Amino acid sequence: MAYQHIIIEIDDYLGLITIDRPKKLNALNKETISELHDAFKTLDDDKDVRVIIITGSGEKAFVAGADIAEFANFDMAHGRELSRKGQTDLFDLVAHLSTPVIAAINGFALGGGLELAMASHIRVASSNAKMGLPEVSLGLIPGYGGTQRLPQLVGKGKALEMITTGGMIDADEALAYRLVNHVVSQEELLSFCEDLAKKIARNSPMAISAAIKAVNANYKESVNGFDVEIEAFGNCFGTDDFEEGTSAFLEKRRPKF
């Protein structure tokens, strides 16, 4: 499939998605969200791809928000549908993807951009990155999961401060509040993420997928995450990856998953 707004590159076990709307600072519109949905599904279905990195083109922005002109005239029903469809098609999809997703935040990550980064499993920011949820300045609130994922990452108080002020924080503050895992220079960003992907790719894809599912279960209402972990742990014992991993350990060699 040919894409207009994103670029996909596959190199061995790594899938790299670049949002490529530099003149719009990589803002998310309906077409871009649709293309990202397709790209994540395609890479997740590719058994050779062990890790996905998502980033933005250029050095200014990861994603500088949503394309406001697209919904400026929406009514309440259209607004609800915009949020529901976006969450289902992209943001929840990424959060629950069986393939781990690393967000390489290479600049501004605002509104939907920060929400996309938060939906990813691991976040690495360049030192020039700025992050925020400025929706209240438009008479809106975050609609792509920001009111839920930001408190999970930084705590309720800091999340409400960021959401109600609409202000931005820099990469170092994001690191201090555990919004991102690492901060590196712009020049090192992709290579750092690739090294992280290499470490992940050495391990069992089946076990990684199960771990993502178990961790996510902790954030679902009426779901006992411990029960999910017990079930997933037990299921591991019936897999080829378990047999290979334990055999490799006992034989003092590197496993081949």
The string of DSSP letters for 41-92 reads HHHHH-TT--EEEEEESTTTEEE--B-GGGTTT--HHHHHHHHHHHIIIIIH
Of the candidates 59, 135, 161, 194, the residue annotated as catalytic is: 135
73 burial via Cβ count (<10 Å: 0-12, 13-18, 19+) = exposed
Q: Whole-angstrom Cα distance, residue 54 to residue 115? A: 13
Query: What confidence score (pLDDT) does residue 49 get?
Result: 98
Cα separation values, 27 from 14, 60, 64, 136, 137, Å: 24, 12, 5, 18, 17
**Phi, psi dihedral angles at 205 (to 5 degrees):** -60, -35
Contact 218, 227 (CB under 8 A): no
Query: What confidence score (pLDDT) does residue 2 get?
Result: 82
> Whole-model pTM?
0.96
Low pLDDT (below 50) residues in the chain: none
- 135 belongs to the catalytic site: yes
| Residue burial 74-105, b: 16+ Cβ < 10 Å; e: rest | eeeeeeeebbeebbebbbebbbebebbbbbbb
Query: What confidence score (pLDDT) does residue 96 get?
Result: 98
Contact 91, 119 (CB under 8 A): yes
Element (H, E) at 37: helix 30-45
Of the candidates 35, 70, 115, 188, the residue annotated as catalytic is: 115
Query: What confidence score (pLDDT) does residue 43 get?
Result: 98
Strand partners, 201: none
With both helix axes pointing from N to C terminus, report the angle between 112-119 and 146-154 in degrees, rounded to the nearest 10: 60
